[in-house]
Structure 1
Amino acid sequence: MLGPVLVDGVEVAAPRQRALLAMLVMDAGRIVGHDQLIGGLYPEPPAGAANALQSQVSRLRRTVAGLVLEHHPAGYRLVADPADVDHLRCAELLRAGRAADALALWRGPALADVDAPFAQAARHTLTELLIECAVAGGTTRHLTELLAGHPLREDLRAALMRSLHRDGRQGEALEVFARGRALLAGELGVDPSPALAAAHLEVLAAQAPHRGVPAQLTSFVGRDEDLRRVSTWLRDNRLVTLIGPGGTGKTRLAVEVAHREPGEVAFVDLSATSDVARALLDGVGVREAGLAPAGPLSAEDRLRAALAAREVVLVVDNCEHVVDEAARVLGAVLSTCPGVRVLATSREPLGITGETLSPVTALDDEAATRLFLDRARAVKPGFHAERDLVAEVCRRLDGIALAIELAAARVRALPLAEIAARLDDRFRLLSKGSRTAAPRHRTLHAVVEWSWDLLTGPERDLAARFTVFSGGAGLDAVTAVCESDVDTLVSLVDKSLLELAGDRYRMLDTIRAFCATHAPDLRERHARWFLARAQEAEPHLRAHDQIDWLARLSAEHDNLVAAVTWATGHDVGLALELVAALATYHWCRGLRTEAARQADAVLHACGETPPPGHEQEYTLCLLLAWPIATGDQSARIRQADALLTALDAPPRYPIMTMMWGMALGAPENDSTVWHRRTRLLGDDAWSAALVLVGDGLMARFAGETAVARDLLLRGAAAFTRVGDRWGAALAFNQLGEIALTDGDAANALIHIERARGLLTELGASEDTAEAVNGRAQAKIAAGDLDGARADFVLALSLAERAGALVVRAGAHLGLATLARVTGDHATARAECDRAWELCPVGWYGPDEMRCHIAVQRGLVARDRGDLDEARQHFEDALRRALGQRNRVTETAVRAELAALAVT
Structure 2
Amino acid sequence: MQIGILGPFEVRIGDGVLADVPGARLRALLVALALQAGHPVGKATLIDWIWGQNPPADATNSLHRLVSRLRKALPDGAIEGQTDGYRLAVGPDAVDAVRFERLARDPRRAGEALTLWRGPALQDVGPLDSEAFDAAVTRLENLRLSALEDRFAAETGAVAELTALVAAHPVRERLVAALIRALAAAGNDSEALLVYQRTREVLADTLGVDPSPELSAVHVALLRGELSRRATPRATNLRAELTSYLGKESDVAAVRALLTGHRLTTLIGPGGSGKTRLANETARTLLDAVPDGVWLVELAAVTAGGDVAQTTLAALGQRDSLLGVAPDAEPVDRVIAAIRDRAALLILDNCEHLIESAAAFAHRVLGECRRLRILATSREPLGITGEALWTVEPLALPGEDDDPAGSPAVQLLRDRAGAVRPDLGTDVRTMARVCRALDGMPLAIELAAARLRTMTLDQLANRLDDRFRLLTGGSRTALPRHRTLRAVIDWSWGLLDDAERTVLRRLSVFAGGAGLDAAERVCGGPDVLELLTALTEKSLVVTAGDGTPRYRMLGTIKEYAAQRLDEAGEAESVRRAHLAYFTELTETAEPGLRRAEQLRWLVVLRAEHDNIAAAMRGAFAAGDADGAIRLAASAGWYWWLAGHKAEGNELVVTAAALPGGTPGVHRALVYTLIAQFLFAGQSDQYSATEWIHQAYEMARDHLDAHPALRLLAALDRLLREPAEPVTVWEPLLSDEDPWVRGLGRLQLGKMRIMLGDGRPEADALLVAALDEVRRVGERWTIAFALVELAGRIAMRGEFGPACEYYEEAIATVAELGALEDIVGMRARQAQLYRLLGDERSSAAAMAEAQRCAERVAWPNALAELALARAELAITGDDRAQAHEHLAVATAMMGAEAEQPMVRALIETLRGWAADDLDEAREHRVAAYRSAAEAAHPLLVATVLVGIADQALREQQYERAAELIAAGIALRGLPDRSQPAEARIAETARRHLGTRITEVAPGRWRELAELTLAC
Map of 1:294 onto structure 2 = none
Map of 1:720 onto structure 2 = 774
CA distance in 1, matches of 2:738, 2:773: 8
Q: Which amino acid aligns with 1:459?
A: E
Map of 1:380 onto structure 2 = none
Map of 2:200 onto structure 1 = 42
Task: Tell me the secondary structure at the aligned position of residue 582 of structure 1.
Answer: helix
Q: Which amino acid aligns with 2:544?
A: A
Map of 1:152 onto structure 2 = none
Task: Tell me the secondary structure at the aligned position of residue 427 of structure 2.
Answer: helix
Query: Against the structure 1 CA distance between its residues 455 and 729, is the aligned structure 2 distance closer, same or farther, given a 3 Å change threshold?
Result: same
Task: Tell me the secondary structure at the aligned position of residue 505 of structure 1.
Answer: strand
- Higher normalized contact order (CA 8 Å, seq sep 6+, divided by chain length): 2
Map of 1:693 onto structure 2 = 746
Map of 2:630 onto structure 1 = 577
CA distance in 2, matches of 1:79, 1:722: 46
* Correspondence 1:464 to 2:505: yes
1:388-439 Cα deviation digits (max 9, x unpaired): xxxxxxxxxxxxxxxxxxxxxxxxxxxxxxxxxxxxxxxxxx9999559999
1:95-174 alignment to 2 at 5 Å?
Answer: none
CA distance in 1, matches of 2:576, 2:224: 48
1:180-329 alignment to 2 at 5 Å?
Answer: 223=281, 280=427, 282=429, 318=445, 320-321=447-448
1:444-468 Cα deviation digits (max 9, x unpaired): 4334334333333222211110112
CA distance in 2, matches of 1:633, 1:99: 49
Task: Tell me the secondary structure at the aligned position of residue 500 of structure 1.
Answer: strand
Q: Which amino acid aligns with 2:231?
A: R
CA distance in 2, matches of 1:663, 1:592: 26
1:56-95 Cα deviation digits (max 9, x unpaired): 11x569xxxxxxx79xxxxx9669998x744453799xxx
Map of 1:506 onto structure 2 = 552
Give yes or no for contact 2:730–2:748 (8 Å, CA) kept in 1: no
Q: What value does the CA root-mean-square deviation take over the aligned residues?
A: 5.8
1:49-88 alignment to 2 at 5 Å?
Answer: 52-53=210-211, 56-57=212-213, 85-88=227-230
* Correspondence 1:490 to 2:533: yes
User: Number of aligned pairs?
Assistant: 614
* Correspondence 1:852 to 2:902: no
Give yes or no for contact 2:753–2:762 (8 Å, CA) kept in 1: yes
1:759-770 alignment to 2 at 5 Å?
Answer: 759-770=813-824
Give yes or no for contact 2:754–2:936 (8 Å, CA) kept in 1: yes
CA distance in 2, matches of 1:622, 1:528: 23
Query: Against the structure 1 CA distance between its residues 27 and 784, is the aligned structure 2 distance closer, same or farther, given a 3 Å change threshold?
Result: farther
CA distance in 1, matches of 2:152, 2:927: 43
Q: Which residue among 853, 865, 868 is the counterpart of 2:916?
A: 865
Map of 2:835 onto structure 1 = 781
Task: Tell me the secondary structure at the aligned position of residue 810 of structure 1.
Answer: helix
Q: Which amino acid aligns with 2:807?
A: E
Map of 1:529 onto structure 2 = 581
Give yes or no for contact 1:719–1:727 (8 Å, CA) kept in 2: yes
CA distance in 2, matches of 1:435, 1:647: 65
Task: Tell me the secondary structure at the aligned position of residue 599 of structure 1.
Answer: helix
Query: Against the structure 1 CA distance between its residues 665 and 612, is the aligned structure 2 distance closer, same or farther, given a 3 Å change threshold?
Result: closer
Comparing 726-735 with 619-628, which one deviates more in the overlay? 619-628
Give yes or no for contact 1:667–1:673 (8 Å, CA) kept in 2: no
CA distance in 1, matches of 2:180, 2:831: 33
Mark the runs of 5 or more structure 2 residues left unpaired by the alignment: 1-148, 166-170, 186-192, 235-239, 243-251, 255-273, 286-349, 351-377, 380-390, 414-422, 434-441, 462-470, 955-1014
Q: Which amino acid aligns with 2:631?
A: L
1:462-499 Cα deviation digits (max 9, x unpaired): 11101121222211101111115101111222222222
Map of 1:115 onto structure 2 = none
Q: Which amino acid aligns with 2:913?
A: V
Task: Tell me the secondary structure at the aligned position of residue 670 of structure 1.
Answer: coil
1:429-448 alignment to 2 at 5 Å?
Answer: 435=476, 443-448=484-489
Map of 2:940 onto structure 1 = 890
Query: Against the structure 1 CA distance between its residues 847 and 730, is the aligned structure 2 distance closer, same or farther, given a 3 Å change threshold?
Result: farther
Query: Against the structure 1 CA distance between its residues 466 and 454, is the aligned structure 2 distance closer, same or farther, given a 3 Å change threshold?
Result: same
Q: TM-score when scaled to structure 2?
A: 0.50
Deviation at 1:615, TM superposition (A): 6.3
* Correspondence 1:454 to 2:495: yes
Query: Against the structure 1 CA distance between its residues 888 and 52, is the aligned structure 2 distance closer, same or farther, given a 3 Å change threshold?
Result: farther
Give yes or no for contact 1:733–1:752 (8 Å, CA) kept in 2: yes
Give yes or no for contact 2:756–2:937 (8 Å, CA) kept in 1: yes
Query: Against the structure 1 CA distance between its residues 46 and 639, is the aligned structure 2 distance closer, same or farther, given a 3 Å change threshold?
Result: same
Task: Tell me the secondary structure at the aligned position of residue 828 of structure 1.
Answer: helix
Give yes or no for contact 1:464–1:518 (8 Å, CA) kept in 2: yes
Map of 1:555 onto structure 2 = 607
Comparing 554-563 with 430-439, which one deviates more in the overlay? 430-439
Give yes or no for contact 1:696–1:711 (8 Å, CA) kept in 2: yes
Q: Which amino acid aligns with 2:281?
A: R
Query: Against the structure 1 CA distance between its residues 667 and 717, is the aligned structure 2 distance closer, same or farther, given a 3 Å change threshold?
Result: farther
Map of 2:874 onto structure 1 = 820
CA distance in 2, matches of 1:528, 1:99: 35
Give yes or no for contact 1:623–1:663 (8 Å, CA) kept in 2: no
Q: Which amino acid aligns with 1:499?
A: V
Query: Against the structure 1 CA distance between its residues 692 and 812, is the aligned structure 2 distance closer, same or farther, given a 3 Å change threshold?
Result: same
1:566-607 Cα deviation digits (max 9, x unpaired): 335544333322121122212212433333333333333356
Map of 1:640 onto structure 2 = 695
Query: Against the structure 1 CA distance between its residues 500 and 285, is the aligned structure 2 distance closer, same or farther, given a 3 Å change threshold?
Result: closer
Q: Which amino acid aligns with 2:493?
A: W
Query: Against the structure 1 CA distance between its residues 499 and 698, is the aligned structure 2 distance closer, same or farther, given a 3 Å change threshold?
Result: same
Map of 2:651 onto structure 1 = 598
Map of 1:836 onto structure 2 = 890
Give yes or no for contact 2:516–2:550 (8 Å, CA) kept in 1: yes
Map of 1:516 onto structure 2 = 562
Q: Which residue among 532, 535, 540 is the counterpart of 2:592?
A: 540
Query: Against the structure 1 CA distance between its residues 324 and 750, is the aligned structure 2 distance closer, same or farther, given a 3 Å change threshold?
Result: closer
Map of 1:772 onto structure 2 = 826
CA distance in 1, matches of 2:709, 2:152: 45
CA distance in 1, matches of 2:587, 2:941: 44
Query: Against the structure 1 CA distance between its residues 683 and 838, is the aligned structure 2 distance closer, same or farther, given a 3 Å change threshold?
Result: same
Q: Which residue among 153, 157, 173 is the counterpart of 1:16?
A: 173
Deviation at 1:530, TM superposition (A): 0.9
1:270-419 alignment to 2 at 5 Å?
Answer: 280=427, 282=429, 318=445, 320-321=447-448
Q: Which amino acid aligns with 2:737?
A: D
Give yes or no for contact 2:806–2:829 (8 Å, CA) kept in 1: yes
Task: Tell me the secondary structure at the aligned position of residue 540 of structure 2.
Answer: coil
Query: Against the structure 1 CA distance between its residues 224 and 464, is the aligned structure 2 distance closer, same or farther, given a 3 Å change threshold?
Result: same
CA distance in 2, matches of 1:572, 1:499: 34
Task: Tell me the secondary structure at the aligned position of residue 639 of structure 1.
Answer: helix
Give yes or no for contact 2:672–2:712 (8 Å, CA) kept in 1: no
Give yes or no for contact 2:900–2:933 (8 Å, CA) kept in 1: no
CA distance in 1, matches of 2:541, 2:667: 41
CA distance in 2, matches of 1:438, 1:637: 56
Query: Against the structure 1 CA distance between its residues 37 and 656, is the aligned structure 2 distance closer, same or farther, given a 3 Å change threshold?
Result: farther
Comparing 813-822 with 631-640, which one deviates more in the overlay? 631-640
Task: Tell me the secondary structure at the aligned position of residue 46 of structure 1.
Answer: helix
Q: Which amino acid aligns with 1:640?
A: A
* Correspondence 1:755 to 2:809: yes
Task: Tell me the secondary structure at the aligned position of residue 804 of structure 1.
Answer: coil
Map of 2:12 onto structure 1 = none
CA distance in 1, matches of 2:223, 2:607: 30
Deviation at 1:824, TM superposition (A): 4.0
Mark the runs of 5 or more structure 1 residues left unpaired by the alignment: 29-34, 62-68, 71-75, 93-97, 101-138, 142-215, 228-244, 287-314, 332-343, 346-429
